[in-house]
Structure 1
Amino acid sequence: MKQHAKPHNDEIDALWEQALKFHKLSHDDEAQKLYEKLLTIQPHAHAYYNLGTIFQKQEKLEEAIEMYEKAIALQLNHANVYYNLGVILKTQNRFEEAATFYEKAIALSPDHANAYTNLGNIRKEQNRLEEAMALYEKAIALNPNNTNAHLNKSLILLAKGDLLEGFALYEKRRPVRSFSKPAWTGAESLEGKTLLIYSEQGFGDTIQFCRYIEMVAKLGCTVIFEVAKPLLPLMRQLRGVSCFVEKGEALPPFDLHCSLLSLPFAFQTTLESIPSKERYLTADPQKVADWQKVLNGTKPKVGLVWSGSETNKGDVYRSIFLETLLASLPKGFEYICLQKEVRQSDHTALENSPIRFLGESLHDFSDTAAVCSLMDLVVSVDTSVAHLAAALGKKTVVLLPFAPDWRWLLERNDSPWYPTIQLLRQETMDDWERVLQKLSQILLNFEKQ
């Protein structure tokens, strides 16, 4: 969001220079007052634009849009005004409008690498993967250090099943952690060494990729595994770990380190070599026994997850309103909510439904694992619970959006990562109706078994 050069107007020169000085120093409040005073004297495209950048930085997005549109109306024909509009509209899920502005930015500035990347991101979310790939490659050609373009290109390769090249390119993501010790890439001997493995991203990622730790330990090393607190009790039963550390606590000495999500690259994983067991996690037997006493009904039990964390950037596509889901749940089952939290918008539907809500009784993932283990079937949108249920070897149905996360690949209803998973995919964006019709049929057939 660059500021433009001084306008050629002697009457407002001093005011402009003072505003621009404050702007460059990030004294936004002072700059805003001066731009607004300037605009009472005369409309000026550059002042509107710079005021728009301040509003955008403050996340006053409607005000920013208004300023940019006024700048364009005054013939400010600069790539960044269109690029910034594209950024805002993308956050509002106004994909095609955002794409149009990115295309205008590229037409005005053919070397605008970020515009190619962001346009590629839109095409990726629309599942137009070949277009997205071409845009990322153009962005990389313009700027070989464009991490975002490299990362998103890797995700397309992974979604298409090219795990070898995809995981290799995924290594270009920015390092999450910085250590004085070297990283392990898979090439260095681990015999007699101590390796720190740390969970890098979300809970679902940790559950999916912890399967590699036993393979690491077989290379002759001592494994330290750093993991987030809610997952720690569940992870303690993993084979191959010599020492667990809660994330944020002091680390013991180690020789090398590796992110959990770099292990597939280190082991040169392909579709054929995915370490895929029907079950590689188990629930605490005592917790299973305790929950058995709580969940002692005679009907088949179905665990449900219909929404994930609202902070996830793709949550608007993966989550379902409970009211929408309820119509697809036939009678004859005991439905158990596997979500610890339920959104305010779902409270009324939950209260009026037959779904049993366990809430704060699910203290951490070891409790959720115990409840999952007692289910006859788990139905989940793309959240960590889907990974947990499948890692426990439970029959799991995952409801996927039109442009799913890379790990579910494309156009298949099974997963090479989890033998017990069945995937139900949206055929068009935001259309859950057909997915839920298929789910209803699965449940009816399941009841007959």
Structure 2
Amino acid sequence: MTINALIDRAVLSHQAGDLAGAEALYREILVSAPGLADVHYLLGMATLGQKKPGAAVKSLRTAIRLKPGVGEWLLNLGIALRQTGDNIAALESLAQAADLFAAIPVRRAEALAESGAILAALGRESEAEKTLREVLSLVPQHPAAKNNLAATLYNRHAGADGLERPDAVEHLREAHLLAPERGPISYRLGQALLRREKHQEALLAFEAGLQRAPTDSDLLLGRSDTLAILGRFEEARDAALTVIRQPGAPARAGIALAVAQHGLGLLAEAVQSLQAVLDAEPDNIPALLNLGNVWGDLGDDAGAEACYRRVLTLSPALAVGHWQRAQARLRAGDLAEGWREYEWRWHMPGFGLNPALQALPVWDGVAQPPGGRLLVHAEQGHGDSLQFIRYVPRLLDMGIEVALQVQPALVRLFRDSLPAATSVTRLGEPIPAGFTCRCPLLGLPLRLDTDRLAAIPAQIPYLRVPADRRQPWRERLLALPGLKVGLVWAGDGRADDPRAAATDRRRSLALPQLDGLMGIAGISLVSLQKGPKAAQQAQSLLTIADWTSDLSDFADTAALAAELDLVIGVDTAVIHLSAALGRPTWVLSRYDGCWRWLRSREDNPWYPGLRLFRQTEWGNWQPVIAKLVNSISVWALERSN
């Protein structure tokens, strides 16, 4: 049989899938005609197809030596070399192939796709990304390149130290677009978005992954966590239960379930879920933290303290452990320990300061501040500033010159309430000259020895309104019959902060829930409600005088509140304002009330004239409102007599 006939027979065997038969024929041909480059190439491909890459490399190299400059041969040599593990030689061969394919985009893309995969495997991620992007510019839907670029971008979300990179979301989002079917990418993208407080986007990432893998436990729990943050607790519970019903469910499924149960007010069930986790994993820190929170809301301060102490034994520098313990200690009235732990807030997300403030050292409260000057600044909400401004006169009595920086809406009120020599400016304005040391407002109780309830400076009023600003309100209020009762029924919804929004939903009322105040003899209601919730007056049966359009800041609100006989409201800044002005103030407090209202008391040492009406059942305002209606009826009758 002639050489050509043998070649034809070998090629037919090769095409029919008989690679071993084709290999034998190619070798027989090369015994007689060792210089046939094409046959060496075909032998290389036959052995490569049989997963014999070492033999393939030998044959392909011989073919290329005999007949250099064939792009396809160099491409396949690169593939064979990659399979032998000789990645550097593979990259060299593939680079030559890509150059030879410069005028053939589809083939160049194949060579580059192989190179990109090798570069990614070698950890040369920047080069891999560049190479794979070129592939997709040539062949936009190249499946292997899309997959490998997605993997490369996924890997680039973390640095060499394992920590998430600042540009992680950018890489993961593109990886998700390239390979939406890959659950781990959806999960990592969702987690990265959660860490950046992009909750709706995170939810979409988890749900996109679940469309392709509906029982994936990581994706389901990511979705549950996100739904809980968004206040959608029933859906969060359902997602967690889906995982718990699967064999071998991870411990964090029980934690996710407990978080949802807690949000629904199912506190006993939340305890059971967390105890089940801790029975299996006694040192599970997230379970201990959450159990501490639940015990606190159940009124078990000892149980909460035991959980937090265990957490801090296991992880002494865990900021969230100190932060949660601080609030629990303060709510229990243990101010000495509470304020010490409260200093850990600066290690928590959401407690950043502007760079100018951050650059100043913090006063330790021991020595006089440099030059006897101290910059005191707001750090949290308006209510916090209103409560803790009481400490500034103490500083002045110590001979310290104070400059105060607070929220814009408080500047005028604090200027009215503090000595004229005290500088009061807005947060973000230039720091006054000579002030080289600072103290946040909520750091003053620790530094000024408020270590027990009896040490709280409660000289009320400590806020003041000039008489000429009160007089116009006094005249307006004369037109209303009876006792004048201010009303604020809702807080700021905080759409930008889902956790704060969830708290606001628990603390706020819908105004029609207070319709039971209608018809109480001897009172007129006056609105102190600002913001979108003020529109609820249209759905209420109550008659309420509303001049809030004339209130531009807290100084205006103070002028009106100072002329009222009583202020009633949910836990908002207006309550602090009214109480600090010395007005009788009644607070409707949610079941998991703020730490500053302490535990189970109707009075409060921060504000001697304040009375608390507390929920005794999670989310149930009806008994609270019934008690309020009865109390205000008695109060009005007593005042009229």
Q: Normalization by structure 2: what TM-score? A: 0.61
- Report the Cα offset of residue 330 of structure 1: 3.7
Letter in 2 for 1:277: Q
User: Which structure 2 residues correspond to residues 292-371 of structure 1 after superposition, within 5 A?
Assistant: 292-296=474-478, 297-311=480-494, 312-313=500-501, 314-332=503-521, 333-343=523-533, 346-350=536-540, 352-371=541-560
Q: 2:200 is matched with which residue?
A: 59
Contact 1:395 1:421 in 2 (8 A): yes
Pair 436,94 (structure 1): closer, same or farther in 2 beyond 3 Å: same
Contact 1:400 1:423 in 2 (8 A): yes
- Report the Cα offset of residue 50 of structure 1: 4.2
Contact 1:45 1:74 in 2 (8 A): no
Letter in 2 for 1:343: K
Q: Which has the higher helix share?
A: 2
Query: In 1, distance between residues paired with 2:149 and 2:288?
Result: 34
What's the CA shift string for 1:337-382, capped at 9, x where partnerless?
A: 01222427614225x5301111220111111111111111110110
Q: 2:248 is matched with which residue?
A: none
Unaligned runs of 5+ in 1: 1-5, 7-11
Is 1:92 the equivalent of 2:92? no
Is 1:245 the equivalent of 2:421? no
Is 1:18 the equivalent of 2:200? no
Is 1:32 the equivalent of 2:186? no
Contact 1:380 1:386 in 2 (8 A): yes
Query: In 1, distance between residues paired with 2:304 and 2:147?
Result: 41
Look up the SS of the partner of 2:416 in the other structure. coil
Query: In 1, distance between residues paired with 2:417 and 2:206?
Result: 51
Look up the SS of the partner of 2:492 in the other structure. coil
User: Which structure 2 residues correspond to residues 94-173 of structure 1 after superposition, within 5 A?
Assistant: 94=233, 97=237, 100-102=254-256, 113-114=285-286, 116-118=288-290, 120-121=292-293, 124=296, 129-173=301-345
Report sequence identity in percent: 30
Letter in 1 for 2:153: F
Contact 1:336 1:355 in 2 (8 A): yes
Contact 1:330 1:440 in 2 (8 A): no
- Report the Cα offset of residue 33 of structure 1: 2.1
Letter in 2 for 1:86: D
Pair 17,115 (structure 1): closer, same or farther in 2 beyond 3 Å: farther
- Cα RMSD of the aligned pairs, angstroms, is 3.2
Look up the SS of the partner of 2:363 in the other structure. coil
Pair 123,48 (structure 1): closer, same or farther in 2 beyond 3 Å: farther
- Report the Cα offset of residue 248 of structure 1: 1.9
Query: In 2, distance between residues paired with 1:90 and 1:182?
Result: 34
Contact 2:489 2:510 in 1 (8 A): yes
Pair 189,344 (structure 1): closer, same or farther in 2 beyond 3 Å: closer
Query: In 2, distance between residues paired with 1:120 and 1:63?
Result: 31
Select 1:215's aligned residue among 378, 386, 394.
394
Is 1:258 the equivalent of 2:439? yes
- Report the Cα offset of residue 148 of structure 1: 2.0
Look up the SS of the partner of 1:27 in the other structure. helix
- Report the Cα offset of residue 443 of structure 1: 1.1
Query: In 1, distance between residues paired with 2:384 and 2:371?
Result: 28
Higher relative contact order (CA 8 A, sep 6+): 1
Pair 71,263 (structure 1): closer, same or farther in 2 beyond 3 Å: farther
Q: Normalization by structure 1: what TM-score? A: 0.85
Contact 1:226 1:245 in 2 (8 A): yes
Unaligned runs of 5+ in 2: 1-120, 122-142, 158-167, 241-252, 257-273, 495-499
Is 1:49 the equivalent of 2:187? yes
Query: In 2, distance between residues paired with 1:75 and 1:221?
Result: 60
Look up the SS of the partner of 1:378 in the other structure. strand
Contact 1:281 1:391 in 2 (8 A): yes
Contact 2:186 2:206 in 1 (8 A): no
Is 1:383 the equivalent of 2:572? yes
Count of aligned positions? 431
Look up the SS of the partner of 1:288 in the other structure. helix
Q: 2:455 is matched with which residue?
A: 273
Is 1:406 the equivalent of 2:606? no
Mean alpha-carbon deviation: is it higher for 335-344 or for 157-166?
335-344
Q: 1:433 is matched with which residue?
A: 622
Q: 2:635 is matched with which residue?
A: 446
Query: In 1, distance between residues paired with 2:471 and 2:144?
Result: 78
Bigger-Rg structure (1/2): 2
Letter in 2 for 1:283: V
Mean alpha-carbon deviation: is it higher for 85-94 or for 374-383?
85-94
